[in-house]
Amino acid sequence: MKLVSAVIKPFKLDDVREALSDIGIQGVTVTEVKGFGRQKGHTELYRGAEYVVDFLPKVKLEVAVDDGMVEQVIEAISQTANTGKIGDGKIFVMPLEQVIRIRTGETGSDAL
């Protein structure tokens, strides 16, 4: 099992969720986050005063999947979240040792 985490632009969330549903993913955890990469930040004007926004709003998705689904999930996220501009985000894949469904006590792949 793997945990696929993706940090994407917020306006791409619905498209990515739909793409994941289309390939059979039933559960996704979404967190609103802030951060920066090469994009750094930008300056904005508010009530006549200029200020720097260091951390940009992003959305972090976490999906626990079987090893056989990892490539499909990566493909769905990367194709759907891609705008071709800086700041599109990143995908991280990590090994997942154990999953337990609290309600039923199911473990491993059955709990996904």
Provide DSSP, 66-82: -GGGHHHHHHHHHHHH-
Q: Is the CB of residue 12 less than 8 Å from the CB of residue 73?
A: no
pTM: 0.86
39 pLDDT more than 80: no
From CA 72, how far away is CA 31, in angstroms rounded? 22
52 pLDDT higher than 90: no
Q: Residue 41: its pLDDT value, please?
A: 64
pLDDT bracket for residue 54 (50, 70, 90): confident
Domain count, the chain: 1
The amino acid at 4: V
Per-residue model confidence as pLDDT tens digits over 66-107? 999 999 999 999 999 999 988 899 999 999 999 999 999 999
The separation between the first and the last C-alpha atoms of the chain, rounded to the nearest angstrom, is 9
The mean pLDDT value for 26-42 works out to 85
CA distance 28 to 3: 11
Domain that holds residue 95: 2-111
Please state the rounded mean pLDDT for residues 41-50: 71
Largest CA distance in the chain: 57
Q: Can you give the CATH number for the domain in which 79 is found?
A: 3.30.70.120
Supply the pLDDT for residue 46: 72
